[in-house]
Every structure is written in structure tokens, then in C-alpha cells.
Structure 1
Amino acid sequence: MTDIRIALSDKAIAQLPTPEDGWYLARDTELKGFFVVVGKRKRTFTVQGDLRQRGKRASSIRVSIGDATELTTRAARAIAKEYLAQISKGQHPKARLDGKPGQTETDGNSAKTGATLKHAWERYLEAHLIRKGRSEKTISGYRDHVERLFAEWLDTPLLDLATDPASVAEKHDQLTKENGPYIANGSMRTLRAIYNHARKTNRSLPRDNPADAVDWNQEERRNTGMGAGDLKGWFLELASLDNPIRREFHLFTLLCGSRPTALQQAKPEHINFRRRTLHIPKPKGGSKRAFDIPLSREMVLSLTRVLRFGRQMHPSQAQQWLFPAESATGHLSETKEDRAILSKWGNDLRQTFRTIATAAGVSEFDAKLLMNHSIPGVNAGYVTRHKLVEDHLRSQQQAISTVVFSALGNSLTEQEALINWLSRGASRRAVPQFRLEPNTLGEQQERIRQAA
């Protein structure tokens, strides 16, 4: 909707139409610079004026007064007059919130009020993300939001964003149209976190977070998991992949329900063949969330195959990575597939694991432990997870793998693609030139065979 001019009153504001998308301004015909920002969920009294320095216009700022449902129009207009008077003198109305005497000029010389988004981001990156051991993927996501999507704001003081929430709401609308609703919401959550972090050490910033002006896009969980009846077709799709390492990666993702990014960085040394576990040292949440994946018989066989394929296809990278590849990192770093070739991958398989776990009779509590989810409640803190891995959780893992392979029925003995892939000794026939170095990988493979 386009901006309008009306004589603002409580009744007039209550009758203003709600926009279908974005927001618009209802400007007061009585007091210049006084208006209401009308959004889908919120209506905010606001003023706008020109800050002047040495008689010259320095910048135009907007300052929120308050929610129209909490303030009367008469009270908001009185505050607006006071704010506009301060702005005309070159003083920011919300530059001082700590009760100390004196007004802070918005001249860019103050280290506190002039702190830019770039400065706040650098401190948040170092003090919050890196120091707390956040993963590279998490940091990369935040960096993309700030340094790409908010590039034009990097040199903008946080105070300017705080006093012009309409521009933040407008940016969210723009990102929604250009980048999609999920990215738009995610970027604004990043901005909100950085602002809140900055305000911990800078109480001169307004308490109202500029991201609060956003009308959040609706987000829904993607239900893309498979049921037992879908697995036969998916296995035939997977068997057709030319790269056997990628094939085993997707199968192992399905059988363990782990996040793909955690598996990508798995190393052969993380496998404990005697305990039949795969250690994940740095999952989502950092090293403090490290855990062991118990291995079913089918998972052990999958690891056997991928170790063989890795040693043959990428002998150098396979010394370090469980799923090696010719990439900058030396391991699989991009595991997306053409959906016309493989219909389900990534988090689709994580959802499938959770779905099959229910069909296998695995309790919700055990499924959360297997997937390394946080367990709510006080009693969960008394559960020692690693004490359950080698007995109880492995039996639950085996139950899930059994349901997965049982869903294939006679296909394992009738479909040539599956026979060539999953039958006994198939991986040896597929890599006739494969050789094991003595006393290293050969010993590991022997332990796997014994464990299976």
C-alpha cells in the first residue's frame, strides 16, 4: 500500500487497513514528521527529522516512539514534539538511556553510538561464534548474511538501524522477494543476535531491537522423509550412481540419521572397530556435543565398502578422510544430487531415519539419543549416553537397519544392480586392483569383518 495522510487519532489508527505485504506510513496532517508505521502485526508511532550539525543537514533519522496499542495518540504526539525538538538541535532522542547527564551528539565521533554493523559483527564473530566453538558451516552462514546480504549496512551505525526500524522491515521484504522467505528470516535473526550482543556492552543503544519491526515469514518443517514402502525404489536409484563413495555416503546417512555435514568430515581414525562405533567429534553445537554412533551390521559393511573404494579411487585423501574426494578439502563437500537421478538425499534421509525408527519400535527417547538431539527435561541430565551405546543403543540401531533392508524384500536377490552392490563379496569384485597396506588398513578391515 502507498503512504497516506490523515489526522491521527486513536479511532483513525484503529480503522487503518492492514497491508497484505510489507508496511506503509500513515502521516499526521497536524504535526509534520509524526506518523504511524502500519505493518501486518504491529503499528508503531514514529517521528522523522533532519539532524543538523553547524547549521547544515547531516542526516535524516527515524525514531520509534512506541506501540500504538500501548500509547494513546495524544501521549505519542507529545513525545513526538519533544523528540523533534531534540532532533532539530542535532541531538538524538535515544542517544542517552543510562540516566547519566548530557546528550550524545550523533556526529560519528562517539565510539559507542557510532559503532557500525561491521564492528559489532567482528566482535560477535570473535567473542560469541569462534570462542564458543561454533562450526565452520554455522560461521559461514552468519558471514553470508552480514557480508553479502547486509553489505550496504556494514558502515552504518547500529544506532541508525535502531532508530529506523522501517528500513529494516523494508530490507526483510526485499530479501523475501529476491532470496526467499527462509533466507530473509534467517538473515534477520542474525541481525537480531548481533544487535543484542552489541547492546550488552553498549547500553546507549535503544532497547528495541530493529529486527522487531519485521513481519516474519511463515516457516514450515519440510516433510520429505520416506516410509518403508518407498525404500525399494530409492535403493534402485542409489545403486545407479556411478560414484561408489557417494553411494555409500547416502546409504550410511540413511542408516545412522546423522547430519550430512558431520559425516563429510569423518575420518578412518574415528572408527572404533572393537566397539563398533563411529565417533563424531564436532557435530552441530561444537565439540561439547561430540558423540558416538553405534554401528549395525549393515553400517559396518557399508564402512567396509567405502574404505575399499576410497583406497582405490583416492589413495592419498583416503588416508585422512572416510569419504574422500578430489576436492579442495579432500573429502566430500557437496553431497547434493540431481533429484531426477536420486530423489532423496541430505536431510530427507535424516527424516526417513526418524520415520523408520518409529516403525521399528524405537522409542522417541532412544531415537533422540541416536540422532544426538537435545533431550528436554531434568531427568535427561542423569542419562549417561556413552554407557548405552555398546549395548542398548546398538540394538536399537540394528532394529532400524533391519527394517530398512527388510523393506527391500526379494530385490536383494533378484535385482542385478543391488546384487552387484550389496551381495556378499560384491565390493571385492568391483575393485579387483585394490590392495591393502600391511598392518594398517588391512588390520582394520579384518576387525570389521570379525565385528560383522
Structure 2
Amino acid sequence: MADLRILLNDKTIERLPPPDNGRYIVRDTELKGFFLVVGARKKTFTVQGDLREQGKRASTIRVAVGDTTEFSTRAARAIAREYLAQISRGQHPKSEERAVKASTAADVERAEAQTILGVTLREAWARYKVYMARKNRSERTIESYRDHVERIFTEWLDTPLIELGNDPAKVAIKHDAITAENGPYIANGSMRTLRAIYNHARKTNRELPADNPVGSIDWNGEKRRDTGMGLTDLKGWFIELGAIDNPIRREFHLFTLLSACRPAALKEAKPIHLDLRRRVLQVPRPKGGADRAFDIPLSRQMILCLMRAMHFGRQMHPFEAKEWIFPADSADGHLVEQKEDRATLSKWGNDLRQTFRTVATPAGVSELDARMLMNHSIPGVNAGYITRHKLLEDHLRAQQQAISDIILKTVGDAVTKDAGLRDWLGKGATRRSILRAKTEFAKREVIVTSSRHRAA
């Protein structure tokens, strides 16, 4: 069977049939060198790349990442990226493992003893990445940790952790330096990353001091950013939002406000996640990973917002809209950057989550209900006795509706007086906007086609 090329994800992999005989390969269209080997009994994630010496190709190698029972596709792709990066640097991703296999039992014991005594930050980080992948941590989380280790602690990558454990003052001095150079929040965040990696490394390296060296630092004070809006601020914000040209971005910001969904998770919302019969939007991989998956109950206004976004998407980005609710002309096919110029839109992202929590109080929504709507953990021993999905389709949806009602009520007469809002939320506005989107898409296609002809 000839090699296939598709975008690998859990759903497409599940549909792949077993081979009639032997095995076949399915290559990923997103990450070059990453593919799936489909056999009769298992499907194995694999990478392939060229090992180079002095700039010349020495050999081509294939390295198994793991089978589909061990990793999700997202986790396997994150590991594959790291393996391919190592191969590009001339390093075999499993060089240590190969050396151990080639040695005698006595050599193995000596190698393990040496590794235990000399485990470096780089080695501990490599192991911690595998741990996070197995725990289905999101790529965003893994990337954040990678940034801390490979950018903030780059000069420590080959430093044995025992050196840091025996000299906690070095860690405290580093924290002060990061605070001065990068700011207090990054300094604290990078130290949390180092603390987690050290604690994980100590599970298999008991020679490391029990006291985590990060415990020596004086943590910077952190204040919750108080950037939410009150009811009196919302009318002006809606007028700003109505002036944004891109209707998909406009609906994205509105839905962020109405749902309090984290932007990173909302960008990856798909039509298959939308259940109109139950009136919920599934969030399969929120902050915290798949274990924190939840459903957002939808108010009437939220459903209209999603319908408009998908209508606009089908006109502006017809191919990408088949997979994403908020499609865009990007490599991922969906909206990637939600930030706006503050002069254009004063509040976006986490500002809108804070606004949701703020207006929930005048809407008559209790703190407990607001926390459940925002998928926050519930403090106290009684939290374990609350079954969220039993409240979802009646009580929580009613609370969601109350919040949406009070938010949209603030627009008032501006929906008829302001041109931008009238064209967006006024009577017949969606139909007119879709016609404009069709026209803009047709113009863009003419420009793209003519440029292709000129290039040919």
C-alpha cells in the first residue's frame, strides 16, 4: 500500500484500517518527518531525519516515539518535534538507550550510577517532557516550560542538578537576575518550572538533596491584574468592537466575553464540538489538559454569536471553516493571534474573563455558579459532592442566560444610533454582513488568481 499523507489527529488515526498484510505508513502534513506506522496489531508514531556530521549527511534514521495506546497525537507530535530538533543537531534522540543496550550488565550499573550522580538540567528536562506528554499536558503548557528551560536557563542546561541542589544561593541569585532583566512574573514562572523539573528528577535520582533549591528564593509579589469592565463600561466597548472590520475576530471577542472561555482553548473550537440539541460547546482540552474537559452551556446570544462566526467563516475561509469555528488564513487554519491594538479595542483576552466574573454579581449569579461556568476548581470539601453535568442543562444554562442578558442590555440604543453596531447587531445585519463577506472573498480570489497567472 502506498504511503498516505493526512493531518494526523486522534480522530483520523482511529479511522485508519489495518493493513491487508505487512504494514503501511501515514505521513503527517503538518510536521515534516513525523509519521505513523500502521501494523496489524498497533499503530506507532515515528520520526525520520538525517544525522549530519560536519554539515554532511552521515545517515538517515528512524526513531519510534510510541504507539497510539501510550500517547495522544498532540503529545506524540510534541515529542516528535524535540526528537527532530535533536537529529538536526546531529544527536540521536535515544543515544543513551542504545549505549545501554550495547553494554554488559556491569556497564549498565556503572552508567546508571554515573547518570544518577550527574543528571543535568537538559537530561532532567527531556525526561520531564515525556512525563508531561504522558499526562496529556497541552502543547501550550509544554512550550511554556520549554521557553523557561531553553531560554531563561540556557547557560544551566549542562549543569548537574546536584550542583544547584548543593548551592541554593546560586538559584536565588539567578532569580534576582531574571527579575531585573525579564520582570517579576517571568522570574517566578521560570522558577516554578525549575522546581517541578527538580522534584521529578529526584524520584529517580535520590542523591539529589531533598530540599529543592528553589525554596531559597524570595518570591516576587504578584497581583491579579484588575482589568475587567463594569456594566457602565460595556457600551463603549461594544462600539469599539463593532468598528472592527474582520467579522470573525469580532465574534471571537464577543464569545470570549459571553462565555469567559480562555482564548487559547476557544481558538481551537470546532463545529463538531458544538451540540445544538443540548445547547453546549465542548472544550476538550482546556488549561490543565483533557482531564479538565468541560461543556459550556450556551445562552441564546451565544448561539447567535457562533452561528454568525460560522456563516462568516464559510464565506471568507470556506476550506478552513470545515474544521474550525473561528477560521483564519493561517498555517493552523484557525485564528492564532487574538490580540488587538488597545487603541482599537481596549479590552480583550483575560480582560473579558475578568469582566464576565465582575458582571456575574449584578446578574444575580452566585460565586459557586460563576466558578463552575468558568471551569474553575471549587474550594472546600463539599466540591467533591457537586456533579457539574447534572446542573448543566437547566440551572447553569439559566445562570449563563442571565449573564448574557445583562451584558447585551448595556448596548441599549447604541444598536440603532451607532453605524458599526447597527451593521453588526441590528435587524437584518447578519444577512448584509454575509453578502459583504461574499463580495470581499470574491475580490480576494480574483487577486490571488491573477497573481498566480502572472507568476506562471
Q: Same fold (TM over 0.5)?
A: yes
Tell whether 2:129 aligns with 1:125: yes
Q: What secondary structure does 1:110 align onto?
A: helix
Look up the match of 2:139: 136
Structural mapping, 1:49-448, within 5 Å? 110-127=114-131, 129-432=132-435
Q: Assess if the C-alpha contact under 8 Å between 2:171 and 2:214 holds in 1.
A: yes
Q: Assess if the C-alpha contact under 8 Å between 2:316 and 2:437 holds in 1.
A: no
Offset of residue 197 of structure 1? 1.0
Structure 1, unpaired ranges of 5+: 1-106, 436-452
Offset of residue 113 of structure 1? 1.2
Distance 1:313 1:369 in 2: 35
Look up the match of 1:51: none
Deviations 1:379-434 (A, max 9, x none): 22222211221111111001001110111221122222111101232111112277
Q: Percent identity?
A: 66
Offset of residue 172 of structure 1? 1.1
More helix by share: 2
RMSD: 1.6
Letter aligned with residue 298 of structure 1: Q
4+ aligned runs moved over 6 Å, structure 1: none
Q: Assess if the C-alpha contact under 8 Å between 2:165 and 2:213 holds in 1.
A: yes
Letter aligned with residue 299 of structure 1: M
Distance 2:307 2:342 in 1: 27
Against the structure 1 CA distance between its residues 411 and 237, is the aligned structure 2 distance closer, same or farther, given a 3 Å change threshold?
same
Deviations 1:3-57 (A, max 9, x none): xxxxxxxxxxxxxxxxxxxxxxxxxxxxxxxxxxxxxxxxxxxxxxxxxxxxxxx
Offset of residue 108 of structure 1? 12
Against the structure 1 CA distance between its residues 433 and 359, is the aligned structure 2 distance closer, same or farther, given a 3 Å change threshold?
closer
Structure possessing the higher radius of gyration over alpha carbons: 1
Against the structure 1 CA distance between its residues 108 and 301, is the aligned structure 2 distance closer, same or farther, given a 3 Å change threshold?
closer
Q: Which has the higher contact order (CA 8 A, sep 6+)?
A: 1
State how many pairs are aligned: 328
Q: What secondary structure does 1:293 align onto?
A: strand
Q: Assess if the C-alpha contact under 8 Å between 1:294 and 1:394 holds in 2.
A: yes
Distance 2:383 2:158 in 1: 46
Distance 1:388 1:328 in 2: 38
Q: Assess if the C-alpha contact under 8 Å between 1:312 and 1:433 holds in 2.
A: no
Distance 1:140 1:282 in 2: 15
Distance 2:134 2:372 in 1: 26
Deviations 1:281-336 (A, max 9, x none): 11111111111111111111111110111011111111001111111211111111
Q: What secondary structure does 2:347 align onto?
A: coil
Query: Which has the larger displacement, 354-363 or 196-205?
Result: 196-205
Offset of residue 269 of structure 1? 1.0
Distance 1:383 1:160 in 2: 47
Q: Assess if the C-alpha contact under 8 Å between 1:118 and 1:154 holds in 2.
A: yes
Against the structure 1 CA distance between its residues 157 and 277, is the aligned structure 2 distance closer, same or farther, given a 3 Å change threshold?
same
